């Protein structure tokens, strides 16, 4: 039919399907709105249907509409609609066309209302949400799972490989059930100047070596300074000595990386206080379209330096940080990707050696939303010994209140660990003894002692092959 792409034709078809197909009607009614229709007769029919449903809690049939409609012309138009032959179209195709029609109309209405609001100086923050909802519109009416009815689905889930990105630190991964899980938000909580960026860049480089695509977004440090840390880590050269590498040696080392890896490490810098989740969403689309790059994991340095996508003028910093956290985790779910970020402690946590969730600066709501929260502290003695104290404060994937000691090498800007053994972390003495009944937890944190010198030799062996 030549006019099958005509929006008015799709309006007519949609109305017929509501009268004749209960399955379609059930999908359409939750979204039914007179603003979606342009043809006056269709607007009148929809108004009548909405009014009828409000009064009688059911959709009218054709005879009821004949009595209830005020206009003969409108009923005549309804009769013409009922004579449209839709049998020539496959059901899935027709539903796809109607869904696309709905989506386009919803987007157009939001855009129109936004322009009118701009002209009237009454622009509201919820237009962003409405536009996002319009793009995500679907007739999918799935309302959940029948736990004991969907036995095949649950069996497949039990035997499927969990989707996660390993941190590359084996014993940490054991505690969090394999690594950073897709659709999750993980946070490192630390006082200022303890090394949140060092931890995240070190993990990022290790994951590139583990053949993962990594995107690192910074709201604080420049791309060049982050790149410097990554090169010191990967080239096994102290940061202070990078400037002493001659050009030929530098490019030879880098050629080794390019030859070795098919995966990428991308850095993107934004000015402090300008980044929001919509910008990250657009960045991901740009990378995919222009560079065919899709990250396996995103690092964000760091959460509190972002701004919400929308917020009322009266919102305080607590609400702002809560919105940012919720939006960021929502993005992780939407994109089916793990996001790792950091958050600072409040004043009370600056000198504390034993942080808890209440030490999060500004907003405890951040802790409520995140899936994993790891506290990082470092006394002067630990800094001198090259160690971090980690404590898992929140863990949706395993035990919490686990204390670990991470080795760190500041010269190379990396967590210093042995890739060839389980000597990643040392379990703090305060964990022992664990309950015999808690064997699963005990197994998860059955970590062995690490020796720093051996760790450094192993790291050197891994990276020097590129020289």
pLDDT of residue 427: 52
CB 257 within 8 A of CB 438: no
Q: Does domain 7-135 have CATH number 3.40.190.10?
A: no
**pLDDT band at residue 340, thresholds of 50, 70 and 90?**
very high
Tell me how far apart the alpha carbons of residues 82 and 93 are, in angstroms, rounded to a whole number.
19
What are the tens digits of pLDDT across the range 216-225? 999 888 888 8
Tell me how far apart the alpha carbons of residues 216 and 214 are, in angstroms, rounded to a whole number.
6
What are the tens digits of pLDDT across the range 282-315? 888 888 888 888 999 999 988 888 888 766 555 6
> Is the model's pLDDT at 187 over the cut of 60?
yes
Contacts of 41 (CB under 8 A, 6+ apart): 73, 74, 77, 78
Taking the complete model, does pTM exceed 0.85, yes or no? Answer: no
pLDDT of residue 220: 85
Domain with CATH 3.40.50.300 in the chain: 164-464
Highest mean pLDDT among 108-122, 140-154, 277-291: 277-291
Between 368 and 213, residue with greater pLDDT: 213
CB 237 within 8 A of CB 245: yes
> Is the model's pLDDT at 452 over the cut of 50?
no
Termini Cα distance of the chain? 67
Q: Read off the pLDDT of each residue in 252-280 and give the average, rounded to a whole number.
A: 84
- Smallest Cα–Cα separation from 417: which of 216, 191, 195, 203? 203
Domain with CATH 1.10.860.10 in the chain: 7-135
**Whole-number Cα distances in Å, 355 to 103, 189, 365:** 47, 9, 16
**pLDDT band at residue 353, thresholds of 50, 70 and 90?**
low
Q: Mean pLDDT, the chain, as a whole number?
A: 77
pLDDT of residue 2: 42
Percent of the chain with pLDDT over 70: 75
Burial class of residue 107, CB neighbours in 10 A (0-12, 13-18, 19+): middle
Q: Read off the pLDDT of each residue in 265-275 and give the average, rounded to a whole number.
A: 88
Tokens of 156: 């497949």
Residue range 164-464, CATH number: 3.40.50.300
**Whole-number Cα distances in Å, 108 to 101, 114, 126, 135:** 11, 10, 16, 11
Between 138 and 83, residue with greater pLDDT: 83
Q: How is residue 161 annotated by DSSP?
A: P
């Amino acid at each position: 039919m030549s006019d099958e792409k005509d929006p008015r034709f799709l309006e007519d078809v949609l109305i017929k399907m509501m009268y004749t197909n209960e399955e379609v009607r059930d999908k359409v009614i939750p979204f039914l709105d007179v603003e979606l229709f342009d043809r006056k007769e269709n607007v009148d029919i929809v108004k009548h249907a909405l009014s009828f449903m409000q009064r009688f809690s059911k959709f009218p049939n054709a005879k009821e509409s004949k009595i209830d409609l005020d206009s003969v012309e409108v009923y005549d138009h309804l009769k013409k609609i009922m004579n449209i032959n839709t049998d020539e179209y496959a059901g899935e195709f027709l539903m796809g066309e109607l869904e696309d029609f709905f989506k386009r109309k919803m987007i157009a209405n939001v855009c129109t209302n936004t322009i009118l609001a701009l002209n009237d100086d009454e622009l509201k923050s919820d237009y962003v949400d409405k536009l996002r909802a319009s793009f995500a519109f679907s007739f999918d009416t799935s309302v959940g799972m029948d736990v004991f009815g969907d036995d095949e689905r649950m069996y497949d889930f039990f035997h499927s490989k969990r989707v996660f990105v390993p941190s590359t630190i084996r014993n940490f991964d054991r505690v969090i059930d394999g690594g950073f899980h897709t659709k999750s938000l993980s946070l490192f909580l630390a006082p200022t100047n303890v090394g949140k960026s060092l931890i995240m860049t070190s993990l990022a480089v290790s994951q590139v070596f583990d053949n993962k695509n990594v995107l690192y977004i910074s709201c604080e440090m420049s791309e060049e300074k982050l790149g410097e840390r990554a090169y010191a880590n990967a080239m096994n050269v102290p940061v202070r000595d990078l400037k002493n590498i001659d050009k030929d040696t530098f490019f030879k080392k880098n050629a080794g990386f390019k030859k070795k890896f098919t995966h990428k490490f991308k850095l993107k810098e934004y000015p402090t206080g300008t980044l929001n989740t919509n910008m990250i969403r657009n960045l991901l689309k740009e990378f995919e379209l222009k560079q065919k790059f899709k990250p396996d994991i995103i690092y964000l340095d760091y959460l509190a330096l972002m701004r919400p996508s929308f917020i009322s003028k009266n919102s305080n910093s607590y609400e702002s940080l809560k919105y940012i956290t919720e939006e960021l985790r929502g993005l992780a779910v939407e994109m089916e990707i793990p996001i790792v970020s950091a958050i600072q402690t409040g004043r009370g946590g600056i000198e504390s050696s034993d942080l808890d969730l209440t030490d999060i600066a500004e907003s405890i709501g951040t802790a409520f939303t995140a899936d994993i929260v790891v506290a990082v502290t470092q006394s002067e003695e630990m800094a001198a010994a090259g160690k971090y104290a980690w404590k898992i404060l929140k863990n949706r994937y395993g035990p919490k209140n686990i204390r670990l000691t991470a080795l760190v090498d500041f010269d190379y800007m990396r967590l210093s660990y042995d890739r060839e053994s389980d000597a990643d972390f040392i379990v703090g003495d305060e964990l022992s003894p664990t309950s015999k009944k808690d064997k699963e937890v005990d197994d998860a944190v059955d970590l062995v002692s690490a020796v720093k010198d051996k760790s450094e030799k192993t790291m050197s062996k891994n990276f020097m092959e590129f020289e």
